[in-house]
């Protein structure tokens, strides 16, 4: 059987599917500047123009302080709960094989694709006084809808995918060899979890926590329906920004938005620093050993 000889092709060494580094870098920075940096820079410039008196006047408002306290507290608690639940879901997805596993894996990403307002309406329908769960919880004294507890549940809902997707690849790479070795040496399940698994998962857990916290801090759509939006009680900071804009209090809105932006930016810096810190610690441990 004869074969056709392919024409010789020029050597592809050094060729890249995209144009050279300079052009790719320029296009990338241009898009990043237009989409991300320019709006954020405009907010930073407006916030810097408020001056110290403007900042103090905006932040010392009791209503602003109440909304910031609620947003930071609820986001912090929700990120912690999402991290714990996300680690458990990731463990089940990685370590077990069962019918419907792929469907469960796909459902984890649903909060990413679902419009947040739809999630808020669905949660409110479930936890309201006549909802599927609210009709049982409220007579027992557990008020979820139109209360801070509802805000936390909404933030856990949108933060869970971050926790799962950051822990899942680490568990897949970890394998079972270290666990089996620890078990063969007589370690209990708790000791294996504490001494073998958690140290490996800790950077991913912290990264998922930071992502969930940053997302929850600025979340709006899934919260406003279930929060009730009562000033000083269940009013979150992103909603107060909208109210300030509707009242033509642009300086007040800018001050609150700048605070949320700064907090989110610090979270992202922490996310980037976490892998480097743990890598440095491991190098020192190997050096000491």
Q: Answer whether residue 45 is part of any domain.
A: no
Q: Answer whether residue 231 is part of any domain.
A: yes
Residue 13 has pLDDT above 70, yes or no: no
What is the per-residue pLDDT for 67? 93
Q: Answer whether residue 21 is part of any domain.
A: no
Report pLDDT digits (tens) over 66-85: 999 999 999 999 999 999 99
Residue 96 has pLDDT above 80, yes or no: yes
Number of domains in the chain: 1
Q: Answer whether residue 51 is part of any domain.
A: no
**pTM for this prediction:** 0.82
Residue 88 has pLDDT above 90, yes or no: yes
How far apart CA 201 and CA 278 sit, in angstroms, is 11
Q: Answer whether residue 202 is part of any domain.
A: yes
Q: Answer whether residue 232 is part of any domain.
A: yes
Q: Answer whether residue 220 is part of any domain.
A: yes
What is the per-residue pLDDT for 194? 83
Q: Are 217 and 113 in contact (CB under 8 A)?
A: no
Contact residues for 223 (Cβ-Cβ < 8 A; gap 6+): 120, 151, 154, 155, 236, 238, 239
> Which region among 11-15, 46-50, 261-265, 280-284 has the lowest average model confidence (pLDDT)?
11-15
Q: Which two tokens stand for residue 123?
A: 């949660």
Residue given tokens 């912090």 in the structure block: 76
Its domain, for residue 236, covers 59-288
Q: Answer whether residue 111 is part of any domain.
A: yes
Can you give the CATH number for the domain in which 159 is found?
1.10.3720.10
Residue 116 has pLDDT above 90, yes or no: no
CA distances for 124 relative to 133, 215, 222, 278, angstroms: 10, 20, 9, 41
């Amino acid at each position: 059987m004869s074969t056709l000889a392919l024409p010789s092709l020029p050597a592809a060494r050094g060729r890249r599917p995209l144009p050279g580094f300079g052009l790719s870098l320029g296009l990338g920075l241009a898009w990043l500047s237009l989409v991300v940096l320019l709006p954020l820079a405009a907010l930073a410039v407006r916030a810097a123009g408020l001056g110290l008196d403007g900042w103090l006047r905006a932040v010392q408002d009791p209503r602003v302080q109440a909304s910031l306290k609620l947003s930071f507290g609820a986001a912090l608690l929700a990120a912690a709960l999402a991290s714990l639940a996300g680690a458990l879901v990731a463990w089940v997805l990685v370590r077990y094989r069962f019918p419907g596993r792929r469907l469960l894996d796909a459902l984890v990403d649903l909060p990413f694709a679902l419009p947040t307002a739809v999630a808020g309406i669905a949660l409110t329908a479930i936890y309201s006084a006549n909802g599927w769960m609210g009709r049982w919880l409220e007579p027992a004294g557990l008020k979820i809808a139109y209360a801070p507890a509802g805000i936390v549940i909404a933030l856990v809902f949108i933060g869970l995918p971050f926790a799962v997707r950051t822990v899942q690849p680490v568990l897949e790479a970890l394998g079972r060899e270290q666990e089996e070795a620890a078990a063969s040496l007589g370690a209990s399940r708790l000791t294996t979890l504490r001494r073998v698994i958690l140290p490996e998962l800790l950077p991913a857990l912290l990264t998922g926590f930071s992502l969930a916290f940053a997302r929850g801090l600025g979340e709006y759509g899934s919260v406003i329906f279930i929060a009730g939006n009562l000033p000083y009680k269940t009013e979150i900071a992103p909603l107060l920004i909208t109210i300030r804009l509707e009242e033509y209090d642009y300086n007040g809105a800018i001050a609150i938005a700048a605070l949320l932006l700064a907090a989110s930016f610090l979270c992202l810096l922490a996310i980037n620093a976490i892998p480097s810190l743990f890598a440095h610690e491991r190098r020192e441990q190997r050096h000491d050993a």
